[in-house]
Amino acid sequence: MSVPGRIEPGEAVQRAQAGDAEAWGEIYRQCAPAIFRFCRRALPTREDAEDATTEIFMKVREKIGQYDPSRSFSAWLYKVSANHCWDMLRRRKGRQDKETEDVAELPLAHPAPGQLERLIARITSEEVRGALGRLPARARMALVLRYYSEMDYDEIAEALGVPRGYVGVVLLRARQELRQALERPGALAAGGTR
């Protein structure tokens, strides 16, 4: 299965690192649509996603010297993107407060991933986006990183700034909350029923 948005512009990156301005245009044309889709899933509004995409590519241009060509450019780009989106979400005080609300009371039981996938398959992407938008920031980012960008636990831990061992718990709770939001639209937005 191919990973959505995993594009390796290879030679254009090398030229960009050497200062070739045209290479930036190539990188942007190849990667911006996938990064916008990533941001659209991670952030609450289209406008946020548009702003984030622009800001991410400005950061990438500034930090291209830090990119290690022995690693996947796409993985590095998604890491920069995830960190940027995560920072944007953390700055939203209302979201931050909701994130920590009743964490101790969240059940650890969750549906099997197959059950969640069947539920998602029955509904539209608009409904999924709406349900993701009602999740706490950390839960939304964890799900987007894992299931859209297909990052592994180490990459997710680094992007979210949590210990690797905590990623499984975050994903477990996030899947439970997403299932709840998909089954009862508005449940999380109205404070949830736990």
The model's pLDDT over 118-177, given as tens digits with 9 standing for 90+, comes to 555 555 567 777 788 888 888 888 888 888 777 888 888 887 778 888 888 888 888 888
54 token code pair: 């622009």
Q: Which DSSP string corresponds to 123-160?
A: S-HHHHHHHHHHS-HHHHHHHIIIIIS---HHHHHHHH
From 31, 66, 91, the end of a domain falls on 91
- Please check whether residue 194 lies inside any domain of the structure: no
Average per-residue pLDDT for the chain: 76
- Please check whether residue 3 lies inside any domain of the structure: no
CATH number of the domain enclosing 154: 1.10.10.10
- Please check whether residue 1 lies inside any domain of the structure: no
Task: Report the pLDDT averaged over residues 24-38.
Answer: 90
Specify the pLDDT at position 191: 44
Rounded Cα distance between 67 and 10, Å, is 12
The model's pLDDT over 80-99, given as tens digits with 9 standing for 90+, comes to 998 898 888 877 645 445 54
How many domains would you assign to the chain? 2
- Please check whether residue 189 lies inside any domain of the structure: no
